[in-house]
């Protein structure tokens, strides 16, 4: 690192492999989404299935909001400064997460789940592209396509449950 009166120059090296902490903190937050969807299916038609599904939806929204913040945080260390694509992606992810929270609170789980599915799918598709462009860590090119389908499939299962529920 070189620091002078005009700023700081950083030289970094990032691995192409997924660091073990990224595995822990990448897949760990997906577990409650998958478990919540499984429990909601198991409780289907019983009194608590709605609450389990709602809590899973709210948790998934909070993780999507966190991932939007991660995208913004990474942009601070992007060579050449934040890129427009990073900021647009962050705003879209944040908007989807926030809108899904508001929609869920208003009792509209189906559109909330649809927004979450769109947000998680976008990360799974866009992060490998952004990794090649130097806008996110290289490891995201391998991590996100493995990580995001867990959320997408789990949320799609909740969506199906909601679409077929008698209430």
Whole-model pTM: value is 0.91
Report the pLDDT value the prediction gives residue 15, as an integer from 0 to 100.
84
pLDDT tens for each residue of 82-93:
889 999 999 999
Average the pLDDT over each of 38-47, 51-60, 61-70, 101-110 and give the range with the smallest value.
38-47
DSSP string, the chain: -EEETTEEE------SSPPHHHHHHHHTTHHHHHHHHHHHHHTTTSTTHHHHHHHHHHHHHHHHHHHHHHHHHHHTTSTTS--HHHHHHHHHHHHHHHHHHHHHHTT-HHHHHHHHHHHHHHHHHHHHHHHHTTSS-TTHHHHHHHHHHHHHHHHHHHHHHHHH---
Q: What does pLDDT average to over the chain?
A: 93
Report the pLDDT value the prediction gives residue 152, as an integer from 0 to 100.
98
Q: Is residue 3 over pLDDT 90?
A: no
Average the pLDDT over each of 28-37, 38-47, 58-67, 104-113 and give the range with the smallest value.
38-47
């Amino acid at each position: 690192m070189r620091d002078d009166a005009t700023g700081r120059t950083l030289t970094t090296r990032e691995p192409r492999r997924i660091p073990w902490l990224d595995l822990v903190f990448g897949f760990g937050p997906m577990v409650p989404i998958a478990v919540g969807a499984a429990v909601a299916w198991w409780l289907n038609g019983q009194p608590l299935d709605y609450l389990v599904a709602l809590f899973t939806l709210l948790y998934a929204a909070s993780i999507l909001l966190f991932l939007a913040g991660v995208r913004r945080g990474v942009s601070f260390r992007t060579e050449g400064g934040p890129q427009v694509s990073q900021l647009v992606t962050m705003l879209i992810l944040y908007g989807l997460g926030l809108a899904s929270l508001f929609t869920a609170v208003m009792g509209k789980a189906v559109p909330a789940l649809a927004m979450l599915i769109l947000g998680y799918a976008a990360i799974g598709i866009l992060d490998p592209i952004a990794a090649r462009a130097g806008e996110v860590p290289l490891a995201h090119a391998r991590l996100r396509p493995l990580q995001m389908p867990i959320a997408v499939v789990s949320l799609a299962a909740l969506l199906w449950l909601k679409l077929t529920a008698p209430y």
